Structure 1
Amino acid sequence: MNASKYCFESYNEIKDTLTKDGKISFFVFNSSSRCWVPYFVYLPPNFSKAKNYPLVLFMHGQGGDETTFNKYVKEEQLNKWILGGEIEPVVIAGIRGDNDRENVQWFTPENESLIAGYSLGEFIQYCQDNFNAGVERNDISIEGHSRGAAGAIHYYLKYPGKFASIVGMGYVSDYTLPSNKKLAAQNLESLKELQIPLRLEIGTEDSFVLTKNRRCIYDLHDYMNELELNHEFEVLHGVEHRFDYFWHYYTDEGLINGLRHLKFHENARKLLKK
């Protein structure tokens, strides 16, 4: 593996997951579309290959990579929520969107083959094979920030029903709005029928909104209302554009927003399985 130019030479292919429970770990896997792809994975406490787990895919923003989630979300926090019974055990994973971090686009053909593919995305298949994650029907959700939110929304609109729920934080990628509107119109019947839960969030202090007038999340919200597509939309007071501000925001109910997200995904999975 010649990985030094991509700054993940210290990563290895996965060998043994049994010692990684309750931890966020970093590996690479060999993809047919993008060669070696670095990724992170969080395995819940008492992880067992004999069990099936739901899967939450995290998509980072511009300038981020597979380490972004771990910079702001601590495994101890996730372990506490699971061991305390606040959420069920879940696997959280995410790939580096591109080795050129400034130009990452989650809807490129290469990334699309990893996330969705013709029937099943290559990375999702990898998570199923190695972590027993996302194996059962309606057990895969997407969480995205900034350009990752643009990607998450793209997959929600293009592949209705393929994912159990979607959360998009800080969607300010205005250039993606026309294509997302087009996808919404094209797949409107399926989107209305399936009513897959979608949650959109933006902060009152988002610099892209305040200084560059990036308002695509507001425009998408209005457009979805016109189409009568159910979704949640919330403006978070005091929140800036950074992912950690979204995750660690305290809700009116006193919950950390990251926990609210994981509960949102869990409730969506349970609802779809009824």
Structure 2
Amino acid sequence: MMIKKLWIILLLLLAVIVIKAQNMQAPGGFDVYQKDISHGNIDTIFYFSETVGVKRSALVYLPPSFSSKKSYPVLYLLHGIGGDEYEWLKNGTPHIILDNLYAQGKLEPMIVVMPNGRAMKDDRATGNIMDADKIGAFSTFQSDLIHDLIPYVEKKYPVKPNQINRALFGLSMGGGQALNFGLGNLDTFAWVGGFSSAPNTHLPENLIPNPQEVKNKLKLLWISCGDQDGLINITNRTHKYLEKHGVQHVFYIEPGGHDFKVWKNDLYMVSQLLFKNANPDKL
């Protein structure tokens, strides 16, 4: 009986990994282009969306070691409310961050897909980006992602199948999407997280109605935010609910606001955990 109690206490202590910001910052130069290393490639793909009824585009990062004779897991990386499929590439330099990590042997080889999360016929971030139809298109993207984009990617590229080989992460509006869609489709994604997730994030009791299912199916659940971000309450409320229900997750509050300085750091940290049994405390 005593041993059983000790195990229960240990499991509760391990239910949440709280990462201290001073121990979890990317080193200087992590996002600086290095000429003398191998580099990945960026593809532009066009897929027909049955959800929207038009062809849509996405960017795909292939790792430096990419070979059509191998197969890879996939990270789907989502943008914010004012962006599109180019936002991460223009402002977050994921190709440079990942190239540098590959050169240091810190990543599991993966394909990264950067889609447009505004699933509508005119999906450009123009005019009033707060229009109801444009906001609604971010919810519509769930169907586009699962029924149109993922099947296309898995047909075009040598991709490892099944939930264990798919990750879904995003920033701000995309962070809310990643949590909503990832936790709402636990048979599709095993690695899920939001960076500075926006108010589109479902209330915790709706986001995670069955905590035990999340415990059973997810390999990693990550929530992070800058300590000066006005939306930090969204991250905090999700964390408190997860903690209350004993759902293991990474809860990372870092220096900064609602910007790419924070999100680039998040990508640096998260990418090293994906598709392997990595310990966040060792980053």
Check whether TM > 0.5: yes
Matching residue within 205, 219, 222 for 2:240? 222
Verify the 8 A CA contact 1:105 1:151 in the aligned structure 2.
Answer: no
The 1:246/1:133 distance shift into structure 2, 3 A limit, reads farther
Q: 1:90 aligns with which of 110, 120, 135?
A: 110
AA aligned opposite 1:246: V
State the shift of 1:134 in Å: 4.2
Offset at residue 107 of structure 1 (A): 5.8
The Cα of 1:77 is off from its aligned counterpart by 3.5
Matches within 5 A, 1:1-274: 22-34=40-52, 35-71=54-90, 72-98=92-118, 99=123, 101=125, 102=129, 103-104=134-135, 108=139, 110-116=140-146, 121-135=147-161, 138-173=164-199, 175-178=200-203, 180-185=204-209, 187-206=210-229, 208-209=230-231, 215-237=233-255, 239-242=256-259, 244-249=260-265, 257-267=266-276
Identity %: 22
Amino acid of the residue matched to residue 196 of structure 1?
A: K
Q: Is the 8 A contact 2:84 2:124 kept in 1?
A: no
1: CA distance between counterparts of 2:137 and 2:71? 27
Cα contact 1:164–1:268 (8 A) shared by 2: no
Listed as ranges, the gaps of 5+ residues in structure 1 are 1-20, 250-256
Residues 195 and 229, structure 1, Cα contact 8 Å, conserved in 2: no
Task: Tell me how far apart the structure 1 counterparts of residues 202 and 63 of structure 2 sit (CA, whole Å).
Answer: 36
Corresponding residue SS for 2:167: strand
Contact 2:85 2:114 (C-alpha < 8 Å) held by counterparts = yes
Please list every run of 5 or more consecutive structure 2 residues that lacks an aligned counterpart in the other structure. Answer: 1-38
Q: 1:140 to 1:268 in 2, by over 3 A?
A: farther
Give the TM-score of the pair, scaled to structure 2: 0.72
Shift of 1:161: 4.0
SS in 2 for 1:234: strand
**1:31 Cα deviation after fit:** 1.4
**Alignment coverage as a number of residue pairs:** 228
Distance in structure 2 (CA, Å) of the matches to 1:107 and 1:183: 16
What TM-score results when the alignment is normalised by the length of structure 1?
0.74
Shift of 1:219: 1.1
Q: Distance in 1 between matches of 2:137 and 2:99?
A: 29
Q: Does the C-alpha gap of structure 1 residues 269 and 164 become closer, same or farther in structure 2, counting only changes over 3 Å?
A: farther
Change beyond 3 A, Cα 1:268–1:107: farther
Contact 2:183 2:214 in 1 (8 A): yes
- CA distance in 2: counterparts of 1:142 and 1:82, whole angstroms: 20
AA partner of residue 25 (structure 1): D
AA matched with 1:201: S
Contact 1:139 1:269 in 2 (8 A): no
CA RMSD of aligned residues (A): 2.4
Q: Which has the higher contact order (CA 8 A, sep 6+)?
A: 2
2:164 is paired with a residue whose SS is coil
Local SS of the residue matching 1:51 = coil
